Amino acid sequence: MGFDLPGKEWTTYIPIATTVALAIYVAWEAMRPKIGWVNPDIQKNEEKVVHTMDVEDIGEKLSICRCWRSKTFPLCDGIHKAHNKRTGDNVGPLRLKRRNVS
């Protein structure tokens, strides 16, 4: 069983193969992280992303996202684990905790 297409018949598949290859390439480019971009999609309409939090609101501990992929940004939701596995990176959150002052 093989591709034994005579003459012009195989040329009818060129547009289909080209379209499929182009669709795969476009999908791949859309999923691929932008080289050099730390922030892939959080508040891209802003010139600079800045968040402010009152120290009193921290509670006992808080994890701040550093991979820029958290759905709860600026808070960490653990998505860095999947990011690290996919990319070989080793990023983790910034953890803040209240010091016990006696």
Tell me which residues are annotated as active site: 48
Q: Which of 33, 101, 83, 100 shows the shortest CA–CA distance to 92?
A: 83
Amino acid at 101: V
Q: What are the start-end ranges of the H helices in 1-102?
A: 14-31, 80-87
* 75: β partners: 64
Question: What is the H or E stretch that residue 92 is in?
Answer: none
Please give the DSSP secondary-structure letter assigned to residue 10.
G
